[in-house]
Structure 1
Amino acid sequence: MARSLTILGATGSIGRSATDVILAHRAELSIEAVVGGSNAEALANVARRLGARFAALADEKGGAALKEALSGSGVASGAGESAVIEAAQRESDVVLAAISGTAGLRPTHAALKAGRRIALANKESLVCAGAAFMADASRLGAEIMPVDSEHNALDQALAAGANRDVEKAIITATGGPFRTWTRERIATASAQEASAHPVWSMGSKINIDSATLMNKGLELIEAHHLFGLEAGRLDVIVHPEAIVHGLVQWRDGAVTAGLALPDMKVPIANALRHRERLPMDLPRLDLAAIGRLSFEKPDETRFPCLALAKAALEAGGAMPTVLNAANEIAVAAYMAGRIGFYDISENVERVCSNFARGSVAAPASVPDALVIDKEAREAARRLIPAYA
């Protein structure tokens, strides 16, 4: 049976991979709406290629350019936050939530409705407002299906048993571009060097989060909410080959793992048609040709952001929300050349410590999360001049 689909973040790396999956399976997948950030031409091109009914640009100033680019196509369009929310709420079976950062939280939440699947690639929805978001999804009858390769692999591996029998759920990390660098060398790394991910092609911010290992910390918080596993049953292991994406160790000693070549089209296809696997014309995993898979523990001395994220998960309350907000501000400052690599973790640690003194409760709703997010961002911005 054909499924209708809306893509939030259609012009980003996840959106581009999703476009390839959809074009290869037009009989199974139709497009209701697409959402982009500020590139009107790129969004119009995606909307035309996929035959979308509606296109929305987050940047309100680009509305006229989008309308012109879609002239004669029959695709309706809009711009600004209201148009993005409209796209998220239009009738469709599946919403692929791939808007990067906290900006994706409100439209992803707006997409929740009975019987709908949310193919979730926006981890901030769960990092910033995990308990409230999952409670609303349950109350409204929406299914959350993870798109990140690690969580998608865990979702499949966890099907092999009951949650009560899980001893440890483990996500993998490539180790990023600085896996073998000394701390002294990492301290002088430029944003360009930090953005050079050894395996995945992602946006600059996510690449830098991968270089600091903050991305893995955020994924642990996401896994906690997705799978209902407490911090003590979640872990990270470094796996440079990026073939094993997630592992579940059971209480009887057995391990179930999810393996695939590092191509986001694989977890995207699985999330869109879960339990109805789409045939994919992709290279097959040849373990004999690869020959060797290696694993190592992450070094939290060289990569303190991972330890900070683990501490935020353990602390609970609003700490994950604060952690994410401070990190986004610090990474932006690093990308702008205003601070150094280790100033990112220093900034995040100081902001989290300041908020910890107030023991801020977990946000009870998405609006509450956005208020805490704003306060934490302002606190992080005030610290930036000290490093700059």
Structure 2
Amino acid sequence: MHNSFGTLFKISTFGESHGPAVGVVIDGCPAGLDISVEEIQQEMDRRKPGQSRITTQRQEGDEIEVLSGIFEGKSTGMPIALLVRNQDQRSKDYSHIADQFRPSHADYTYQVKYGHRDYRGGGRSSARETAARVAAGAVAKQLLRQWGIEVFAWVSQVGALALEKSYQELDLTKIEDSIVRCPDLEMAEQMIALIDETRKNRDTIGGVVSAVIKGVPPGLGEPVFGKLHAALGGAMLGINAVKGFEYGSGFKGVEMLGSQHNDTFYKDEGKVRTHSNHSGGVQGGISNGEDIYFRVAFKPVATIMMDQPSVNTQGEAVQVSGKGRHDPCVVPRAVPIVEAMAALVIADFYLLNQTSKLRG
């Protein structure tokens, strides 16, 4: 069973949606890093449920507890253990699916694989587990800051409502100005209205989170099996409800000619730069020093407040009723999760890059 992520900056998460707590152990964080627990809590607050009318109304404070690895505000080099206690579980909301499989959930696949599953809120398959990732990502962000690297993510699409502006045209300081986390406030209001309408219709809707990583130096990534964009893609596709990942020009790139798509080089104040950035900051699996940008597609939340046909553990036809508290659209709360996973990848690859050649 794989519950760990990373090579040098490595995390292992634990806990279930309706268990006592979820948490993470971070191994490989260099000693001497100034770590603000307040900043970790800020990231937790961005992900926590019940933060607005367009998110699940489960009420969790998601207060972070530091169990080890941080002393007098600095990392000690020992494993950093962070814990978040669950406080607002309503397990009875799931008793009706103890022997039923919810459409498009992990119920059936977990049952087949393990033969025994925690059906309360999805157990380990619940997005509740991502609280641990966000906590670890908050530490990774503080490490990246030492190297001048920043990660930004925002909601760029809800349903068919798509923000056509590039990240260079957006004011990324306005991401938190809207409950939907879209920095274009006019589009944000339209997205909120669409999510509200979907929720009132007892349904759910999907969307896209876009992201950019600024300040990444050239040279991160491996040439064959450890390509940087592949690691980022794997990290994003490992987030609950993600159905697609593209970086740089992505699928739109197929509409271009090579003469249009190639990023030509030039020298700027002693640094090699590219005139365009269709490569998305990665060439040959290795960062080239330009901004790394990508998009992550999230499906509509699988639990809907409608009856749906399914089968039970005996293979008999049943009607599954949607109950409990769920997000009508996951993308507003997915923004800090995308940032966290990106930060974890870059932190790991930055440390790995220190072993790539002899240094005087």
TM-score range, shorter chain: under 0.3
- Determine which structure has greater relative contact order: mean sequence separation of CA pairs < 8 Å that are 6+ residues apart, divided by chain length: 2
Structure 1 or 2: larger helix share? 1
TM-score, normalised to structure 1, is 0.23
TM-score, normalised to structure 2, is 0.24
